[in-house]
Amino acid sequence: MFAEEGNMAAPQGKIALVQDEASKRIAAEKSEFNKSVREMRKLGILPPGVKPKAKHFNMLAAYQNSNAAKMRATSVARDLAAFESVGGMGAQVLATLNNPKAKATERAIALQAMIQITKSAPMVVSAARIEPDDESPFLIDDSELDGIMSEFSA
């Protein structure tokens, strides 16, 4: 009889632990929600006395995304300024690539730096679909791509 009572204590302890975790999770979600509402009100997205809807959260997300893009653009501008101060990023990369004494790791680092900077740059993307035509100057045909590949593989 006492063994059964001992077994009852263990599940009740686990249940209490699960309930405690659930209450902590709910409190964290409420705190995050209230923080978002305060930020929306501060930015003027959510008028006083209005309950937040999905459109308000979408506006807040757009604001946060634009701020993140602005920060990335600032970071990229600083990186580019640092490269330009020593002779330009393109000049540095080409000098490394054209140097016959440059090791493969040096070349890889130069290319990786250039790739990272261009990848982190914010891009403005149109919501409208672009339909290219035969006169589009931004399209590269296969012969141009083959020429570029042969230039780098040589």
The whole-angstrom separation of Cα 79 and Cα 72 is: 10
Q: Tell me which residue has tokens 């101060």.
A: 85
pLDDT in tens, 53-83: 989 989 988 988 888 888 887 877 777 676 6
Long-range Cβ pairs for the range 111-115 (8 Å, 24+):
113/89, 114/89
Residue 151 banded pLDDT, cuts 50, 70, 90:
confident
The whole-angstrom separation of Cα 122 and Cα 119 is: 8
Which pLDDT value is given to residue 1?
A: 46
Region of 131 (left: φ > 0; alpha: ψ -120 to 50; beta: rest) is beta
Q: How many CA atoms lie within 13 A of 65 on its CB side?
A: 9
Does residue 8 register a pLDDT over 70?
A: no
The one-character DSSP state at 122 is -
Whole-model pTM over 0.85: no
Which of 49-53, 91-95, 104-108 bottoms out in mean pLDDT, i.e. has the lowest? 91-95
